[in-house]
Amino acid sequence: MSALAPIRKPVRPLGSAFRQGVRERLRHSAASRGLDGVLLLSPANVLYACGFNFSVNERPIGLYVPVEGESKLFVPLLELENAEPVLGVELGIYEEFPGLVHPVVWMVCQSGSRRLAIDILDARQLGPLNTLVDEVLLEDLAAPLRFVKTPEELELTRIAASYADLCLTRLQTEGGTIISAGGSELDLLADCTGFALAALKRDYGAAFAGTKLGITASVHSGPRAALPHGATSARRPQPGETLISGVGASLGGYHAESGVTLILGEVSPEQRRVMQAMERCNDAAVAALKPGARCQDVNEAALDALKSADLGDAIRHRIGHGMGLEGHEAPWLAPGDTTTVAPNMVFSNEPGVYRPGRDGFRTINTMLVGAQGVEIPSQFLAHTPIDQRVIAL
């Protein structure tokens, strides 16, 4: 009736060889543009290129990757001890933010670069930087590298998806007991996320200590399910209503998602009609997600299935987004993204129907693009047919 329990696998966090490979590709990308190097300021990009996992706050942290020479990791003084174990980089330390000289301006000066690319930049720093260097290319050179995952990254994604499924399994099997005892959306959320997180930490906590490892989720029901980003509340779900749960899981920093719409009690004919249309939408996205396709065309093909079911007015968002070191990252399966789909990209697949004041529906699968087809490591929906997507009361 439900997804299988996760199987523990002998995996480890991505190591220094992976990070060195990323930096080599960044060097090549910078050299091909006639630059001296790349300054990465996005926390996800810094993690990607050197493995430094840190608490994000107002103090900038940057990684400078030169075409020639050693990479430099720039951190505030309070992060010194945390940054010292990072392999393959030299450390540059500034005292505090905002400082007499803005830390990003200081980083550029310390890099010695005259021509460099920067992935993200506060517009207020562009003027000072233009007086210090010959060229600032505002382009994220790490993004196209992150689009296409290695086998090691894909394996972490697969495992993460299995714990997102586990969270949904727990919600379905225990939800009826919790609601019957007077439990609310918040109680349901605490139970299923606590259960899945405990399992994830039990299986991988020791091996992945110091990396991003976690479970996040939402649970909202009834008319509030019509809010795509509805906050989980103290509301008690009622018989006959829809209940949406979307779950994100991460292992070693890599994200996956699973999600379902469950019915409190029996599935009505109208609920079944909508859920069948959503299933056709999901399948259309899978069929369209082929190497060589454009991301925006995948979105259009998927949402056409909802429009054909006379549900076009209930569409509130794109069909999906990229996933990796961030839960939401480019490329986007959305209008305006003309990125060409390639093997080993990772996307979510999120058919959604939202009818304000009435109800809402959403399912989520993680999709891994293969040369010959799409792999779906999210298995809850496949193991739970529409008529079984219920919480018995």
Same domain, 97 and 132: yes
Residue 6 lies in a domain: no
Residue ranges of the chain whose pLDDT lies below 70: 1-4
Same domain, 30 and 45: yes
Q: What domain count does the chain have?
A: 2
Give dist(CA 206, CA 340) in Å, integer.
38
What is the reported pLDDT for 1?
42
Residue 230 lies in a domain: yes
Greatest alpha-carbon span in the chain: 68
CATH code where residue 43 lies = 3.40.350.10
Same domain, 91 and 160: no
Same domain, 240 and 386: yes
Where is 146: in which H helix or E strand? Answer: helix 143-147
Same domain, 161 and 69: no
Same domain, 261 and 122: no
What is the reported pLDDT for 231?
87
Residue 9 lies in a domain: no
User: Per residue in 140-176, is it b (16+ CB within 10 Å) or e — as a string?
Assistant: bbbbebbbebeebbbbbbbbbbbbbbbbbbbbbebbb
CATH code where residue 386 lies = 3.90.230.10
Which of the listed residues 103, 129, 146 is the one where a domain comes to its end? Answer: 146
Which of the listed residues 146, 161, 195 is the one where a domain comes to its end? Answer: 146
Contacts of 333 (CB under 8 A, 6+ apart): 285, 289, 295, 296, 298, 299, 302, 318, 319, 320, 321, 347, 348
Same domain, 139 and 185: no
Residue range of the domain that includes 27 = 16-146
Distances (CA, A) of 373 to 64, 80, 156, 200, 297: 38, 46, 20, 29, 17
What is the reported pLDDT for 3?
52
Residue 7 lies in a domain: no
Give dist(CA 179, CA 244) in Å, integer.
15
Same domain, 267 and 211: yes
Residue 44 lies in a domain: yes
Which of the listed residues 126, 146, 166 is the one where a domain comes to its end? Answer: 146
Residue 258 lies in a domain: yes
Same domain, 154 and 142: no
Question: Which of 334, 183, 359 shows the shortest CA–CA distance to 268?
Answer: 359
Same domain, 64 and 126: yes
**CA within 13 Å, CB half, 277:** 22
Give dist(CA 41, CA 93) in Å, integer.
15
